Amino acid sequence: MSHSIEIKPYYAPEAYRPNRIPNQADSVKRIGMNAFSGIRLPWGASQDVAPESIMEDPTPSDLRFNEHLKKEQEEKRRRGSYVPAPFEGVELHQKYDHECFRFAQLPFRSQFWLFMQAGGKWSFIVLLPITVLVFFIGALSLERSWMELFTEALSGFFSWTLGIPLFCWVIGNTVISYFPHFWFRPPKGPLWELNRRTGTVTVFEYKKLKNNETAKIKTAPFHEFDAYIFTSPDRQGLPMNGLYLLHRYRDIRINFNSLIIPDNTTQRPCALWDFFQNFMDVNRPLPDLPLYESHRHLDPTTASHDQVIGRAPRYWIDMDDETFKIKVKEMLKRIDAIDTFSRTNLMANHVKYVD
């Protein structure tokens, strides 16, 4: 007696396909500030764009470094001389591959030291030439010796202007470099996930129950969400735009401001929305970015596409730095010219929006 073996398709039936979006119930009216401050972005007609922060993480040189490091580790393991790095193998709950885009974030304690190091470093670098320029202007306009001005500068305003950032940079760098067990704590779990293979969006909400912390998991199909640009003021009161993903019927939302920082234009949030649509669309290949170089052959649609066009498997990893800079500039031009707000909303053919 023969038994037939059922071969399941790689993509789930609910995987996102723009030509197979099901008809859905009327949207639920938004309430509160969401009803006034958010600009809903249209579905469909996405362009081949991605925010430069995603395009440049990793860079081709990062890919080459990681490839070289992996070979060195394998050789050391073969010789029996390999010593694991601190926290090697610790679960960071992040995953960016052919199946899902899963985001996690370090706890505040760990982020604090990273912000202290990076903020102090770049503040010092930016303020140093400005401070020197102000010093020389003062020296030229006042009839006093250079040594008198320099002494006053060190003991007065300039010492605070440069001293505080330099102090933060040195302390932050010292703690991060030499006391990893003090500052580093792994994330408690992922915050959200977009799954290409299943066509679902998942949000993880963590709540403390006595001494344990449990995650409340909310999952819904990608096509039941809408993207919105929300505008909020920064510390100087300037309007900054960030991307949110809101479920059309339930209280499920994702704030992408931790993924890419809010921008004073709408182009970058719009580019992120196009990137996610392209990533989730199983009718098209994965976005052609360094991030997915080693995963493209594992996704059936992408593998078939790359074979047809004859794409080099090491397209990004073998790219020199100057060529990659040109590619980044080309991406920035496409982002600046993005046409999001002139598009027809594809989802309006399947959903009646009440607001």
Which secondary-structure segment (H or E) carries 203?
strand 200-209
Reduced to 3 states, what is the DSSP secondary structure of residue 209? strand
Specify the pLDDT at position 78.
87
What the block records as the tokens of 67 is 């490839």
Q: What is the DSSP letter of 242?
A: E
Specify the pLDDT at position 127.
67
- Per residue in 4-47, pLDDT tens? 555 678 999 999 999 999 999 999 887 655 555 689 999 999 99
Regions in the chain scoring below 50 on pLDDT: 1-2
Reduced to 3 states, what is the DSSP secondary structure of residue 182? helix
Specify the pLDDT at position 1.
44
Instruction: Please state the length of the chain.
Output: 355
Whole-angstrom Cα distance, residue 77 to residue 88? 14
- Per residue in 300-334, pLDDT tens? 999 999 999 999 999 999 999 999 999 999 999 99
Compute CA distances 129 → 134, 136, 147, 197, 226, whole Å. Answer: 9, 11, 19, 50, 45
Whole-angstrom Cα distance, residue 14 to residue 239? 37
Specify the pLDDT at position 67.
93
Q: Can you say whether residue 29 is alpha, beta or left, with left for phi > 0 and alpha for psi between -120 and 50 degrees?
A: beta
Q: Which residues contact 335 (CB under 8 A, 6 or more apart)?
A: 49, 51, 52, 267, 268, 270, 271
Specify the pLDDT at position 296.
97
Q: Tokens 């449990």 correspond to what residue?
A: 214
Whole-angstrom Cα distance, residue 80 to residue 215? 40
Specify the pLDDT at position 213.
67
The model's pTM: 0.83
**Measuring CA to CA, which residue among 309, 303, 310 is closest to residue 285?**
303
What values do phi and psi take at 241, rounded to 5?
-110, 130
Dihedral (Cα; 313, 316, 322, 324), 10-degree rounding: 130
